[in-house]
Structure 1
Amino acid sequence: MAQAGLHVIFDSASSNPPRVAELDIVAVHGLNFKNSDDHARKTWTMGDKLWLKDFLPSALARPARVMLFEYNSSPAIGATAIKLAGHANNLLQWLKLKRKALVAATLDGTYKSIVEATRLLVFFATPHQGGNYASLGDIVAKIVRTGMSKPRNDLLDALKESSDQALQRFEQARHLPERCLVVSFYEGDSYGKMGLIVDKKSATLNLPGTREKQIAMHADHSTICKFDSLDNPACELVLGTIADEVDRALTMGRSVSSALAPFPVSSYPLSSMAPVKTFVQRPSLRDNIRNQLMKPLEADRQGEAKKVGVWGMGGAGKSQLALSYLQRYRTKYDATFWIQADQTASIDRDFLAIYRLLAETAPSLSDPNPEDVKREVLGWFARASGKYLVIFDGADSLHQTDKDFVDLSQYCPGSPNTHVIITSRSSIAKSMSTFEGVSVEELEESQSVELFLACAEIQPAREGVLAETKLIVHELGYLALAVSMAGKYVSQTPRLSSNLSAYLDEFRNRRRDLLSETPDKLVARYHHSVMTVWETSYAAVSEHLPEAGRLLTLLCFIHYDDIFLELFALDIDLASTAVAPWMSVLGCQMGADLHQLEKWFRVLENYSLCQRKMMQSSYSIHRLVHAWGYDRLRSGGDEVERFWYAASQLLDDYIKTIRDRHDGPVTKLRVVPHLTDNIHSFKNVSRVNDWNEIDWLEAVERFGIFFTEIGRWNDAAVSQKEVIEKRQRILGDEHPSTIIAMNNLASTLGDQGKLDEAASMMREVLEKRQRILGDEHPDTISAMNNLASTLSDQGKLDEAASMMKEVLEKMQRILGDEHPSTIIAMNNLASTLGDQGKLDEAASMMREVLEKRQRILGDEHPDTISAMNNLASTLGDQGKLDEAASMMKEVLEKMQRILGDEHPSTIIAMNNLASTLGDQGKLDEAASMMREVLEKRQRILGAEHPSTITAMNNLAATLGDQGTLDEAASMKREVLEKRQRILGDEHPSTIIAMNNLASTLGDQGKLDEAASMMKEVLEKRQRILGDEHPSTISAMNNLASTLSDQGKLNEAIRPPDVSTAKKQRFLKRVTGKLQKVRNSFRFSPN
């Protein structure tokens, strides 16, 4: 490579006769793909002719000096060679050295003088911006491939980064001094199969007026700036154009004068300075704008105007934020200018008004057109001293495909003494920012409350107002425009002003109407309703990329938050060659890939209709946009059904995927909000065809099964009730699918602790299956198993055990000993035998269950772990505490890892381990774990669930063992009261609770109350269990001890002699601490 720097290749002072050069011409080459020597010269040479030296000087009317700028631009030696800012600085430094008139100038003065002295720029197929169908980075990469067949990835990445820097300078280049003209030559011929490398759109600056000539060349990218003869038509065109434009530029430079002098002016419009009555400050965002506008520029960007893009969804408060900045810092500027930028016509209108304002102190143009006005106003900013603020408000159409596209770069002042703020619904405003820009999202809760109360004209001191207002602004998603409109509506509706709680019901019923109201301009300074704003954005998205618009509609049938890309399962083969329904509804009949999906999301993000959540690698939609997207479709006939079905299949496919991958609990829980929202929207899907609806119900039914698998019983019940209601209406009560749905709901009701309701429904299921299918059918036997398990939970142990033995016998005979259903039956019978106190028989059967499940299912299967839990509990009942505790710790670790900390089975395992630790005398550790169990059950299951009450019972027992008798007694009274109310006085768990409370009362010295309660416990156990039952014997022993403590020795009849070991063996049955996991049968059609 030749030596870097500025090399003179022609100087009229050395010609014959010598003439002092009046023009300096500098030629700058492009990328040196092949790392060839003297690339600066070869760029302009064809054959042996360097036209810049051999042809150009004689075509000019003035003496000139021609120079080549040589710099390292070789991608062949690595991406580090591509440093745009560094090369630009080097060029300026060389110009400083070569131009003798400027030798004594300072660095900043040099740069400024060079800019002012530049009169003509000539570009040959130079990519200034993206073309019609490609980004600037894509175009540059295409150029590289013309010289390098297989460029390295690091090179292309670096080129793209440099191209992004070039885009930042493109806007600055559009604001060169008005005396500087531009010629843009662009390709007219294709470069082989690659076509046009840099098309017209990319190769031109589109400067206003006559400042730029755009000329097509009969040449491709490789020959556009090389000529071997003066007779070459292309050479004639280039030389003639340059000569003419040089003359025009120099003539214009002498004659240019502005109609506008840099005199002091007022702000425009004056109304922008007026305060807003209901304005709510957002100081952190406002100060962020200020910090960016005051931030120093890097050395290579000196002389630019600083710009801050402020973007966010419609109604988020962007205009109010800009107004807040203007009013807070207006004293820092000599004048401020507020320009409505929603259309080019509105900008031209405001520019004309500003022009007239500026022209009050100077002669004006006689008949100004928009281009003249624009030139004069921008020229005024370039010459004026002082500090100015220009706000382009509502610049929403920034994408080139927008119907009302506004090329804001033509209007932004480029002067360093001007600050520019751009508010937009388009995130393209971010790329227009000098630094990072400001994203405007929802108001904070306190700000929303303040805004609502100000607009509603209500004082917060009134009782209940603050709490009701918080509910309202939460429903509105803290969206500034929606909050202000709601407040104004309340202020104008007397019945609501005195009863705020009624507003939410009215909003939910009339949401579409209320959001369509046009806001009071005095409240919001806004011309559009919330609905209009979003409809406009949606129309722009659909016009730009229809698939993105339909994607937004699809997303309205899942949850608005945490929309993660894995949900779309694009990398999973579901053994189907058919295009997924969600792809079809988006119009992708050939399918879609991850890159397309990301592209659609980018478009939605550009229009602020969705937001990216960087920390979660997902997207979110504002809750009101989400609701609006659904509302706008409700009048669309079968469109609602199509989109709902597509969303349900999307979720159904994802559930199959995570099941097949055996994903952990976090992954499973992440999809729950999307499932619940989809089910909720299903309730509102109007019926087009009953049989379509039956097909769709299968997905909802599978959602219910999934909910039960992960312990989300309340969610499961919601989906299962929906399935039952629709199947009963369409198929009838006796249809097998209806009975399946009834069975599944009954099992879930049992999980929820609604035992009476569950048992009643299970009896109905059993009766129907016996009548329709017969006693020996596997589905009938499964129904009998489920009913037996519920009877056991109700404390009806003898009836449950009898039924379970029948179930086990039938399953062994019909299905065989190794069938999963047979093993479930054995597990359930073993648990009930343990509840009956038949511990040896129960333990033996549980070991058999565990062995079979380990062999058939593996050690990590949830059913295997449940079997281990049940055996450990029985070992604890037998007093084998060390073995039980060791096994329980293993169970807990596996359940936490596989099912998650919040799963009901995990909490059962924690409960059992805590109880066993207590029995081992590790009371502090046990109490801590029991408190955690109680907190989780109260939060997940509710205070009235039997498992929650069991947890409270266990903690109370441990507190009593620790000697905290008052707290223990209080908690045990609460347990007894709840069990009496929920289970009844005769339930075994109720009697256990009474026994436990009586023992603690005795420990407190309240012997009379304790003795009375113990007599009641003994009477009930004798009547229900019989005199010989270990629990009856234990009750008799407890009463005798208390009577003895009272001094009533004659009354204290001792029970029959029972060994200490036997008493210890049944201790757990008396206190009711340990829990086993029974298995129900749930069914799905598929």
Structure 2
Amino acid sequence: MRFGGFEMRSRGVSPVVKRPAWIVPFERNSRFTGRQVQLTEVEEKLFSGGSTRTAIVGLGGVGKTQLALELAYQVRDKYRNCAVIWIPATNTESLHQAYLDVARQLGIAGCEDIQADVKRLVKDHLSKESAGQWLLVFDNADDINMWTGQVGSKLGSDRLINYLPSSKHGCILFTSRDRKTAVKLAQQNIIQLTEMGEDVALQLLQKCLIDPGLVNDKSNTKTLLQELTYLPLAIVQAAAYINENGIAFADYLSLLTDQEEEVIKLLSEEFEDHGMYRNVKNPVATTWLISFQQIRHRDPLVADYLSFMCCIDPKDIPQSLLPPGPSRKKEIDAIGTLDAYSFISKRPADQALDLHRLVHLATRNWLRKEQLLAQWTESVVERLEDVFPDDDHNNRSIWRTYLPHARCVLESSLGDRDRQSRLSLSWRYAICLYADGQWNEAEAAYIEGLEIEKKELGADHPDTLISMANLASTYRNQGRWEKAEKLELQVMETRKTKLGADHPDTLSSIANLASTFRKQGRWEEAEKLQLEVMETSKTKLGADHPHTLSSMANLAATYRSQGRWEEAEKLELQVMKTSKTKLGADHPDTLSSIANLASTYRKQGRWKEAEKLELQVMETRKTKLGADHPDTLSSIASFASTYRNQGRWEEAEKLQLEVMETSKTKLGADHPDTLSSIANLASTFRQQGRWEEAEKLQLEVMETSKTKLGADHPNTLSSIANLASTYSEQGRWDEAEKLKLQVMETSKTKLGADHPDTLTSIANLALTFSNQGRWEEAEKLELQVMETSKTKLGAEHPDTLTSMSNLAWTYRNQGRWEEAEKLQLQVIETSKTKLGADHPSTLTSINNLAFTWKSQGRVDDAINLMEECVTLRTQMIGINHPNTSASQTILLEWQTERLRVSDIVDDVPNIV
């Protein structure tokens, strides 16, 4: 039976014939595992008559030789008349010796003549019809120069590729680590061999172990195979070490996760294996060193790229990070060579590369031995310093691809001789981490840079002070206000001494300290400093200088926090008008000033005015900065909040979904701004009574905040409080109470007992007690909040008025109507004076008093007051707003009830 030019065994009795040549140096590998797909593919290519040359290509240690060996044995078993000849092609000498051995075994005349060109004799012999059927295997055909270059000038020194026999009855199989060499030898007939799959790797490991039962430790088995990258040679080597030393997988894993030098020693352990060439003990590390030496001699740029890449993170290496070569073609060729040796894999969509993890390790070891690792690490630092961008939003995608690689070299103790480059890289690395909301990582980077600057430049050098200010800003974002304050005080005092009290940098440090005070709710201290900065800036820089305008905006923000909205509005209007004149209507600072004014309008319940301004800011930012810029997303979020305050939930939800999705894509799912956007959407869901959806989002925000920011970060506490509110809305009082207690206790410890956020957390817990009918506990907490608010915030602060309203409601629920009425009247009068007669909070207080009067039996007064509330709410927030609808419903109920009572009275018969 013929198959592609070869005869297969047929059943029945055959005459005794001489067996064809079998020249293979190895026994069959009894541990050969898997690779059936590749075996079939190789056989089809070679024996279907479609091609006479095929190459198996793959990383050193991936099993190319073993695949070829198994194929050789299968050919011997399957094809009766086929000779199988194996030639090791590691170098010219071994190949020449193999040709001589083949010539002798084939009985080729003249091969013993020292003047004979033995390779040509073998070629001519196999190319003849009389040679019959044959398979020729060239193992380790890696050196392209050996095959395509002239070997010498004497007889037999022609290019080796010219010594390949050709016959319609014969075919040639190459194994090679280098795809470029393989393509030269076999053209397109290439079979790429990759690492094993997990299941097949597990089978191989079992076959290699003295105690196969070790694989019953499934967790460590899985981890071990992952660490060995499912590479057959690494698995066989690990099994040999485990067998020799009688250790468990956990012990071997502990060695693999040891210091880099120790891991290399482990991977360099020699071991015996019957499938290797005589006197060759190739452990994993040595296997790749051979390839590396070949590469170095062929193309220095390839070696440079490999050396460069082994000093950075081996995953997702941007090609733009690699040093420029002499030409673009040289760069492409160099990357192609690394890919051809399977040292790297390409990510075409990202223009990025992955370096094999064990190759990364082995190359580092070679550089260390050659005392080149520090030199190459310094080259990487210099290159990164040259290409690493600043923290402009448009560079975000670039810096994110570079961050892991900068981290890798900055965490290394090597390459620190060029302190200036390292310091510059560390600076940009830190500010980009900061911009990405990775504050813990930014903190570590700032601290490292700061230590270097203190040693190199001195503690009072301007650059050192800038780093201290940046570190303080990071602490502030982490909610670590005491540490921020301490640094900012130090920076401020040093600048006052070194630069003078009115120097712009000094004023900036004072402003930073004021910002920390404001975060802590220390508004009077913040205000004092901000007034100082503003007045000095006006005198020193001018009333329309950007720094002066910024100082005015900061003071306005403090006024807003204090509920001093008229003063805030006055300053913000001034900043906005000056910015428009000085900077232009679409300048980023001008847009910020408009957004700030809109925020004050929102606080005042002037939602239409806020909406108009926010729409302007949003549209301009989309045009100027782009739809996905963080400032644009912030303006969309503000616009959505205004919609939500008006009860326009569908419109709010649409915008919030847009912000959330864009934030996830641009900033990342765990960025603080993304978490805020998710929390905002959850709040909208909660107000619509979509509690399951709200809860799901709030749980996500809470868990991510705990991981990303820490369990006691203000943002995390806020996320817990939001989830607790959703539980309360569903009547899940016990769960709500547990969370609110947690928030309250942590806030007291972290922020202080009189911090505004702490007071809010106490008020929230009191509300839960009130909902449970635990009036005395609620009253006790509400009294505490009210008294502290009066002292801390002032008797007229909006939060103080809210605390009074809450206490009044608790009194009303207990039937203590006179006490409730007294407080509510006080709240109404103060709200009218402070916030305005038509402010939403004022209208809420009127609504609440109407309920108290109704409970006292003062029905007419209650109805009249509720009618006033409905009228004002209709005018101010619209007839469709939920609050307006609720008031209308209550008013209608009361009016109906009064009519019913009146009808009953009219029907009573007169008694004479």
Cα distance in structure 1, aligned partners of 2:130 and 2:350: 45
Render the CA deviation track for 1:861-903: whole Å, top value 9, x for unaligned: 7766665665554444333456657838939977861246253
Distance 1:273 1:484, change over 3 A: closer
Partner of residue 338 from structure 2, selected from 590, 593, 604: 604
SS at match of 1:816: coil
Point out the structure with the larger helix share: 2
How far off is 1:701 after superposition?
A: 1.5
Distance 1:730 1:363, change over 3 A: closer
How far off is 1:1000 after superposition?
A: 3.4
Cα distance in structure 2, aligned partners of 1:772 and 1:743: 16
Cα distance in structure 1, aligned partners of 2:232 and 2:410: 30
State the match for 2:384 in structure 1. Answer: 651
Matched, 1:737 2:468: no
SS at match of 2:138: strand
Cα distance in structure 1, aligned partners of 2:533 and 2:65: 71
Partner of residue 776 from structure 1, selected from 502, 507, 519: 502
Matched, 1:1058 2:827: yes
How far off is 1:805 after superposition?
A: 2.4
Cα distance in structure 2, aligned partners of 1:486 and 1:613: 30
Q: Is the 8 A contact 2:92 2:146 kept in 1?
A: no
Q: Is the 8 A contact 1:315 1:479 kept in 2?
A: yes
Q: Is the 8 A contact 1:788 1:800 kept in 2?
A: yes
State the match for 1:530 in structure 2. Answer: 284
Matched, 1:897 2:897: no
Cα distance in structure 1, aligned partners of 2:253 and 2:344: 30
Distance 1:524 1:732, change over 3 A: farther
The amino acid that maps onto 2:663 is D
How far off is 1:544 after superposition?
A: 1.9
Partner of residue 191 from structure 2, selected from 423, 432, 438: 438
The amino acid that maps onto 1:679 is L
Give unpaired runs (5+ residues) of structure 2.
Answer: 6-15, 152-157, 631-661, 845-912
Cα distance in structure 2, aligned partners of 1:474 and 1:383: 47
Partner of residue 550 from structure 1, selected from 285, 304, 314: 304
State the match for 1:816 in structure 2. Answer: 542
Render the CA deviation track for 1:658-701: whole Å, top value 9, x for unaligned: 95xx73643342222232223223x33354xxxx4245412322
State the match for 1:669 in structure 2. Answer: 400
Cα distance in structure 2, aligned partners of 1:678 and 1:708: 19
How far off is 1:652 after superposition?
A: 3.3
Aligned length: 769
Partner of residue 313 from structure 1, selected from 59, 80, 95: 59
Distance 1:476 1:375, change over 3 A: closer
Q: Is the 8 A contact 1:553 1:629 kept in 2?
A: yes
SS at match of 2:445: helix
Q: Is the 8 A contact 2:307 2:376 kept in 1?
A: yes
Matched, 1:345 2:345: no
Distance 1:791 1:293, change over 3 A: farther
Partner of residue 393 from structure 1, selected from 136, 139, 144: 139
How far off is 1:275 after superposition?
A: 0.9
Describe how 1:621-636 pairs up with structure 2 within 5 A.
621-634=355-368
State the match for 1:791 in structure 2. Answer: 517
Cα distance in structure 2, aligned partners of 1:722 and 1:1067: 55
Render the CA deviation track for 1:224-265: whole Å, top value 9, x for unaligned: xxxxxxxxxxxxxxxxxxxxxxxxxxxxxxxxxxxxx99434
How far off is 1:380 after superposition?
A: 7.3
Partner of residue 996 from structure 1, selected from 754, 759, 764: 764
The amino acid that maps onto 1:594 is R
Render the CA deviation track for 1:455-476: whole Å, top value 9, x for unaligned: 676777799x544555555555
Describe how 1:846-865 pairs up with structure 2 within 5 A.
846=572, 849=575
The amino acid that maps onto 2:792 is I
How far off is 1:426 after superposition?
A: 0.6
Q: Is the 8 A contact 2:391 2:435 kept in 1?
A: no
Greater RCO (CA < 8 Å, at least 6 residues apart): 1
Distance 1:317 1:835, change over 3 A: farther
State the match for 1:242 in structure 2. Answer: none
Q: Is the 8 A contact 2:205 2:236 kept in 1?
A: yes
Cα distance in structure 2, aligned partners of 1:542 and 1:533: 15
State the match for 1:1038 in structure 2. Answer: 806
Q: Is the 8 A contact 1:481 1:524 kept in 2?
A: no
Partner of residue 677 from structure 2, selected from 895, 907, 910: 910
How far off is 1:995 after superposition?
A: 1.9
Matched, 1:953 2:706: no
The amino acid that maps onto 1:291 is E
Partner of residue 512 from structure 1, selected from 259, 264, 274: 264
Distance 1:518 1:946, change over 3 A: farther
Matched, 1:264 2:14: no
Matched, 1:685 2:447: no
SS at match of 1:671: helix
Partner of residue 37 from structure 2, selected from 287, 297, 307: 287
How far off is 1:343 after superposition?
A: 2.1
Q: Is the 8 A contact 1:401 1:544 kept in 2?
A: no
Cα distance in structure 2, aligned partners of 1:896 and 1:351: 69
State the match for 2:647 in structure 1. Answer: none
Distance 1:720 1:1054, change over 3 A: same
Q: Is the 8 A contact 2:391 2:428 kept in 1?
A: no
How far off is 1:931 after superposition?
A: 6.3
How far off is 1:833 after superposition?
A: 2.5
Cα distance in structure 1, aligned partners of 2:754 and 2:455: 39
Matched, 1:701 2:432: no
Render the CA deviation track for 1:574-619: whole Å, top value 9, x for unaligned: xxxxxxxx56xxxx7xxx4433322332333344433333332332
Q: Is the 8 A contact 1:333 1:389 kept in 2?
A: no
How far off is 1:370 after superposition?
A: 2.9
State the match for 1:565 in structure 2. Answer: 319
The amino acid that maps onto 1:727 is E
SS at match of 1:396: coil
Distance 1:329 1:728, change over 3 A: farther
SS at match of 1:663: helix
Distance 1:644 1:370, change over 3 A: same
TM-score, with structure 1 as normaliser? 0.61
How far off is 1:1031 after superposition?
A: 1.7
How far off is 1:287 after superposition?
A: 0.8
Cα distance in structure 1, aligned partners of 2:686 and 2:567: 23
Distance 1:454 1:1047, change over 3 A: farther
How far off is 1:782 after superposition?
A: 1.6
How far off is 1:331 after superposition?
A: 4.8
Cα distance in structure 2, aligned partners of 1:808 and 1:542: 64
State the match for 1:1025 in structure 2. Answer: 793
Cα distance in structure 1, aligned partners of 2:415 and 2:284: 25
Describe how 1:491-510 pairs up with structure 2 within 5 A.
491-493=243-245, 499=251, 502-510=254-262
Partner of residue 527 from structure 2, selected from 792, 795, 801: 801
Cα distance in structure 1, aligned partners of 2:337 and 2:163: 25
How far off is 1:1022 after superposition?
A: 4.1
SS at match of 1:1002: helix
Cα distance in structure 2, aligned partners of 1:1027 and 1:523: 88
How far off is 1:821 after superposition?
A: 3.3
Q: Is the 8 A contact 1:766 1:783 kept in 2?
A: yes
